[in-house]
């Protein structure tokens, strides 16, 4: 069967924003998720197709390659496993209501059940929020974080079984991992309460982890924050999440960055903005001033004579470095010149000002202009 175009799969335009792509995928994922459509292979196919499309189109680099070279650009069609693409739904659903719905779909972050019984599955991914200064976001930094996660119990290697003993089939569910209960016309399947869906129980649990196979461990990690990050960016630490149940692999740790505001710089993309007050005479006659940059270095800026209040000048390359770029390209710094009217004049200045007014002549009947101008 020919593969469908990824944009077509998600039902979005080729130029769709990442938000539109996320929304489209969310809708398809909710409607077609296998846990919600048991036994419906068409729905499962649609789910996989949508997940694959989302995997590519949600990644800027992969999307670019796909746009340019099609499937050849993203090496699709191979045996890729998308069974775990829905692990980090906190990202896709941004907390809030839908996340809760998914929490119950996905049975707390484990892999999808196979015929009701759970084998080893990937552990939960974890989120950690760090707050860094504006300048650290621009130039990058290292942050040491301390967090607790689950690791495999070293005594039983994550099996939960005491050495020398084994597991036996769960007598409640006869190894299926599910129990059925009749409710009116319906028969409702639910996870077996005795074995928690595993299909077997541990006869002699490991003394160290009480049979869970997992132990909580406090961990300290140095996280490298690359130059150019902004609020909402995340750094993935592969395998630093919770260890998987039944000896399964660990999830990832996502470090979300939150940037504190700067005293005077504002940021938009890779450009920086600030205002610079200049005097009425500097604006009239022209001048050279020294303006502070985010590098804590002052650069000389020429103000042309006759500069009006609100004029914006650009300092090329004095902005924020491009995130994860090998070039040392940076955005620009924009300065808005604010012409200040002197509030207090000494005797001498007052005299000169009056003289100036006389020489220049004052317009006593100025013509109105629109308010918004």
State the residues that interact with Zn ion by CB under 5 A. Answer: 153, 155-156, 170, 172-173, 192, 194-195, 206, 208-209
What radius of gyration do the chain's Cα atoms show?
31
Q: Kindly tell me which of 173 and 225 has the beta carbon lying closer to Zn ion.
A: 173
Q: Kindly tell me which of 178 and 233 has the beta carbon lying closer to Zn ion.
A: 178
Query: In the complex, what is the shortest distance from the CB of residue 46 to Zn ion, in angstroms, rounded to a whole number?
Result: 31
Q: Identify any residues that bridge with 141 across adjacent strands, giving them in sequence order.
A: 225
Query: In the complex, what is the shortest distance from the CB of residue 126 to Zn ion, in angstroms, rounded to a whole number?
Result: 21
- CA 244 to chain CA centroid, nearest Å: 23
The 8-class DSSP code of residue 261 comes to: P
Angstrom distance (rounded) from CA 102 to CA 34: 12
Angstrom distance (rounded) from CA 230 to CA 337: 26
Query: In the complex, what is the shortest distance from the CB of residue 195 to Zn ion, in angstroms, rounded to a whole number?
Result: 3
Q: Kindly tell me which of 108 and 370 has the beta carbon lying closer to Zn ion.
A: 108
Angstrom distance (rounded) from CA 244 to CA 242: 6
Q: Kindly tell me which of 187 and 346 has the beta carbon lying closer to Zn ion.
A: 187
Query: In the complex, what is the shortest distance from the CB of residue 156 to Zn ion, in angstroms, rounded to a whole number?
Result: 3
Instruction: Report which of 103, 131, 69 is spatially closest to residue 255, judged by C-alpha positions.
Output: 131
Q: Kindly tell me which of 63 and 152 has the beta carbon lying closer to Zn ion.
A: 152
Contact 79, 51 (CB under 8 A): no
Instruction: Report which of 257, 249, 250 is spatially closest to residue 130, judged by C-alpha positions.
Output: 257
Q: Kindly tell me which of 74 and 206 has the beta carbon lying closer to Zn ion.
A: 206
Angstrom distance (rounded) from CA 246 to CA 150: 12
């Amino acid at each position: 069967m020919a593969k469908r175009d990824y944009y077509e799969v998600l039902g979005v335009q080729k130029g769709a924003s990442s938000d539109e792509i996320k929304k489209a995928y969310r809708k398809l994922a909710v409607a077609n998720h296998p846990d919600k459509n048991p036994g419906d292979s068409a729905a499962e196919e649609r789910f996989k197709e949508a997940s694959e499309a989302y995997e590519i189109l949600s990644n800027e680099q992969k999307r670019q390659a796909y746009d340019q070279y099609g499937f050849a650009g993203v090496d699709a069609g191979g045996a890729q496993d998308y069974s775990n693409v829905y692990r980090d739904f906190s990202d896709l659903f941004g907390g809030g209501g839908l996340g809760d719905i998914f929490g119950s779909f996905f049975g707390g972050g484990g892999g999808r059940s196979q015929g009701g019984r759970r084998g080893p599955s990937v552990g939960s991914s974890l989120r950690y929020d760090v707050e860094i200064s504006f300048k650290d976001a621009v130039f990058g930094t290292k942050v040491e974080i301390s967090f607790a996660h689950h690791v495999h119990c070293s005594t039983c290697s994550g099996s939960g079984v005491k050495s020398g003993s084994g597991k036996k089939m769960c007598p409640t569910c006869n190894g299926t991992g599910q129990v059925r209960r009749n409710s009116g016309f319906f028969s409702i399947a639910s996870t077996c309460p005795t074995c928690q869906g595993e299909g077997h129980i541990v006869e002699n649990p490991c003394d160290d982890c009480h049979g869970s196979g997992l132990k909580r461990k406090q961990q300290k990690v140095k996280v490298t924050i690359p130059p150019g990050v902004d609020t909402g960016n995340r750094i993935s630490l592969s395998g630093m999440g919770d260890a998987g149940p039944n000896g399964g692999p660990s999830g990832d740790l996502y470090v979300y960055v939150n940037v504190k505001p700067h005293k005077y710089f504002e940021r938009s993309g890779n450009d920086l903005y600030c205002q610079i007050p200049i005097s009425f005479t500097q604006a009239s006659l022209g001048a050279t001033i020294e303006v502070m940059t985010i590098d804590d270095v002052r650069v000389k800026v020429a103000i042309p004579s006759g500069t009006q209040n609100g004029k914006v000048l650009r300092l090329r390359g004095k902005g924020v470095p491009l995130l994860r770029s090998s070039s040392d390209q940076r955005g620009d710094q924009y300065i808005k010149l604010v012409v200040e009217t002197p509030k207090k004049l000494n005797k001498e200045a007052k005299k000169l000002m009056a003289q100036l007014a006389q020489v220049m002549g004052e317009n006593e009947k100025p013509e109105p202009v629109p308010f918004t101008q």
